[in-house]
Structure 1
Amino acid sequence: MPHDETAHDAPRGSGLDDGDVSALEDELQTRGEPYARATVVRREPPVSANVGDRAVVTQDGELHGWVGGVSCAQSVVAEEAREAIAAGEPRLIGIAPDPATVDRPGLDAFPMRCHSDGVLEIFLEPVARTELVVVGDSPVARSLARMADELAVDVTLVVADGDAEPDVPAGTNVLATVEPSEIADAVGRSPVVVVASMGGYDARGVAAGVLADAPYVGLVASDERATEEVERAAGLLDRDPEGIRSAVTNPAGVDIDAHTPAELAASLLAEVVDVRSRGSVDDDAAASEDADAAADHGGHDHDDHSGHDHSDGGGHDHGDDGHEGDETDADGSDAAVDPVCGMTVDPDDAAASVEYGGETYHFCCHGCADSFESEPAEYVAEVEP
């Protein structure tokens, strides 16, 4: 008996309905997992799908929804959807008994091997939210978070616990921790990471990006300080510094001769867009191109441009404030001196404290604390005289 050309009122078997597909999309987006939408855009009977029927294909090729009930068509859709996800580009496919009848520019044709014949054309749209992690509470970091709000990205701003609430859009996720493992666990896998704490906890941001398998870790720092931050990050992770260095892009951002925090943020955002469009920058060719480009324009020292050249061991240029030992604050409370940068620190409000040799040392930022922990004897010897 011939197949009814109008047939599609039959039950959809185990396929999800539109509401279920939407719920699955929400779940995948919440988990940050890429997937592809498959939508029927043309049909010729006899097929059991209508124009507008849709399904979701996960990254591992599982198809949920309805694009026709025959396994041969579904297998083609699932496989091509996986290819679309991997490439990050949409595609239009046609499935027909004779692929030549639907083959045309912009469409990939495949044979319909089902006994019922019929023709299907299906649009495959990969969906992948970009997770942008901005590390730091600096003017550059806050500007970048505000600008990125205009893009289809999920923005997480990482700040030290106790910092004032930053001025960022309401949709920004503010993460108040500088522990690399906690940051990596909170943001999920393969985020795009920009580290711009201006020496406060840059090494920890770099370490978090490495732990999260970030395809891009951009560091806003001078060449000299970038080398120091990479070494600190390697110490935090107990890894080879060269391996960490290969994962870091410095100078970060597109060279636009930026000077102000907003201009630096714009250059960083341009690079984020480029990274997202390319999908990954971890191949050797891309790294070589970035290095060549940096050499061509002589690099750009973001610290100089932004007015923050944190060039000393702890990443902070606090100047010579005359504090050589324990001091007393204006309110009479005991104060301590950060042994790395020499800044006066209130022990009750210190960003970090470290026990060494029976003494407690207090620090203005986590960067100084990390430097101290890497070579405590050296800094203690400098303080004792």
Structure 2
Amino acid sequence: MTPDTASDADLAARERALQAREEPYAQATVVRREPPVSATVGDRALVTADGELHGWIGGISCAQSRVADEAQAAIADGEPRLIGIAPDPDAIDRPGLEAFPMQCHSQGTLEVFIDPVRPTTRLLVVGGSPIAHSLVRLASELDVEMTLVDPDGADADIPSETTVLTTLESEEIAEAVGSEPLVVVASMGEYDARGVAAGVLAEAPYIGLVASTTRAPETVDRVAGLLEVEPDTVGDAVTSPAGIDISASSAPEIATSLLAELVAVRATTGRAPTARAEPNDTATAEGSCCAGGSDEDESTAAPPATSETDDGAAVDPVCDMTVDPDEAPSVTHQGTTYYFCCHGCADSFRTDPDEYLEVTTTETMNSV
């Protein structure tokens, strides 16, 4: 705590700097006093998240310490509060005010209103699924800056103030959304890894992944490969299954459970919740990409390498789906271009192409 007698202009400049850096802080204003305290009504100070006090609320050190402590608590929970500091706390105690003892020898009484100022929450929703779009519509009622990643989102039924990104490059998404957003990934396997990777790059305090217990670890491994980090680093950043358990089944219900968890996370200044919902495999499979979107045992269907068909189509080496090369995502490996049904499959192949090519090589040798 470092109290000073900054002028109103100095405090205004410091406040602008904190806002520019998107750092939370609290405004503390003296609203009542009884002598012999040196503060006057209207004196004010700013308190940063680490407890530094700038401004003037009187020269009483114990009062300054109490205001700094309560300001930090207000920053943490986002709730304003009125506190009173007096020799006899019972004498000023009343509804709406929290009273504390004046422990300094100078005595006197102070009442201080503390108002936290926290940066606007950024919400990044990744996916073109009904769940993702429903979440965007519901979250529009909150005070958040919302960004949706959806290549087909330009014509989606979402609020007009939503920023829509059509890029699927993780670095571009992270740069566009800014630092420390709350992230929900609900592309149903189509480009989950891209969304999670963007959240990791943006240092998101919460990355909720709508996925089954089978697909979630596959996505984590895929992201680890894309970012060239350890899977545990990604896994620790991801909450999956995402959402509060309300026995949701439809897209709007699942979106509601996600929004409830986001509100809880925001109330705890971005710390991820400890309680996690049970998976909803029916919902996560709806409209899912084949790359991890199905919980089918992989041993029952070994995919072949990409090959041209008679009609000019191609076969996805990850999931064995037939795709149109003119519209499909592609990866070039050792001079050969492979085509995929979605970016999820492409990312799986890009992370470890030999895993899928070895299957075909082995099958070919066994058939000779």
| Global fold match (TM > 0.5) | yes
1:360 partner letter: T
Q: Within 5 Å, give how 1:281-320 maps onto structure 2.
A: 281-282=271-272, 287=274, 289-290=275-276, 294=278, 299-301=279-281, 303=283, 307-310=286-289, 312-313=290-291, 315=293
| 2:109 counterpart of 1:132 | no
Q: Is the 8 A contact 1:112 1:118 kept in 2?
A: no
| 2:24 counterpart of 1:42 | no
Cα distance change, pair 68–252 in 1 and its aligned pair in 2 (3 A): closer
Q: Secondary structure at the match of 1:82?
A: helix
Q: Secondary structure at the match of 1:379?
A: helix
Structure-2 separation of matches of 1:309 and 1:13: 60
Structure-2 separation of matches of 1:314 and 1:300: 15
Deviations 1:277-334 (A, max 9, x none): 344555xxx53x43xx63xxxx422535x73344x435489xxxxx9743588xxxx6
2:334 aligned partner: 357
The worse-fitting range, judged by mean Cα deviation, of 73-82 and 234-243 is 73-82
| 2:96 counterpart of 1:104 | no
Q: Is the 8 A contact 2:187 2:288 kept in 1?
A: no
Deviations 1:306-363 (A, max 9, x none): 73344x435489xxxxx9743588xxxx65443323241343x44x432211112233
Structure-1 separation of matches of 2:18 and 2:133: 28
Cα distance change, pair 29–166 in 1 and its aligned pair in 2 (3 A): farther
Q: Is the 8 A contact 1:94 1:102 kept in 2?
A: no
| 2:205 counterpart of 1:226 | no
| 2:237 counterpart of 1:254 | no
Report sequence identity in percent: 52
Structure-2 separation of matches of 1:187 and 1:324: 35
Q: Is the 8 A contact 2:45 2:57 kept in 1?
A: no
Structure-1 separation of matches of 2:136 and 2:20: 20
Q: Where does the alignment leave 5 or more consecutive residues of structure 1 unmatched? A: 1-11, 318-322
Q: Within 5 Å, give how 1:158-169 maps onto structure 2.
A: 158-160=149-151, 164=154, 166-169=156-159
1:33 Cα shift?
2.3
Structure-2 separation of matches of 1:123 and 1:187: 34
Structure-1 separation of matches of 2:60 and 2:170: 46
1:132 partner letter: L
Cα distance change, pair 143–28 in 1 and its aligned pair in 2 (3 A): farther
Structure-2 separation of matches of 1:163 and 1:382: 36
Structure-1 separation of matches of 2:6 and 2:80: 26
1:104 partner letter: D
Residue 153 of structure 1: which of 139, 144, 147 is its match?
144
Residue 348 of structure 2: which of 356, 371, 375 is its match?
371
1:113 Cα shift?
4.8
TM-score, structure 1 as length reference: 0.74
| 2:194 counterpart of 1:217 | no
Structure-2 separation of matches of 1:144 and 1:159: 13
Structure-1 separation of matches of 2:287 and 2:37: 65
| 2:198 counterpart of 1:208 | yes
Structure-2 separation of matches of 1:345 and 1:138: 22
1:235 aligned partner: 225
Cα distance change, pair 59–185 in 1 and its aligned pair in 2 (3 A): farther
Q: Within 5 Å, give how 1:109-120 maps onto structure 2.
A: 109=100, 111=102, 113=104, 118-120=108-110
| 2:158 counterpart of 1:178 | no
1:14 partner letter: A
Cα distance change, pair 114–242 in 1 and its aligned pair in 2 (3 A): same
| 2:317 counterpart of 1:339 | yes
Cα distance change, pair 91–370 in 1 and its aligned pair in 2 (3 A): same
Cα distance change, pair 344–328 in 1 and its aligned pair in 2 (3 A): farther
1:340 partner letter: V
Structure-1 separation of matches of 2:60 and 2:116: 21
1:156 partner letter: T
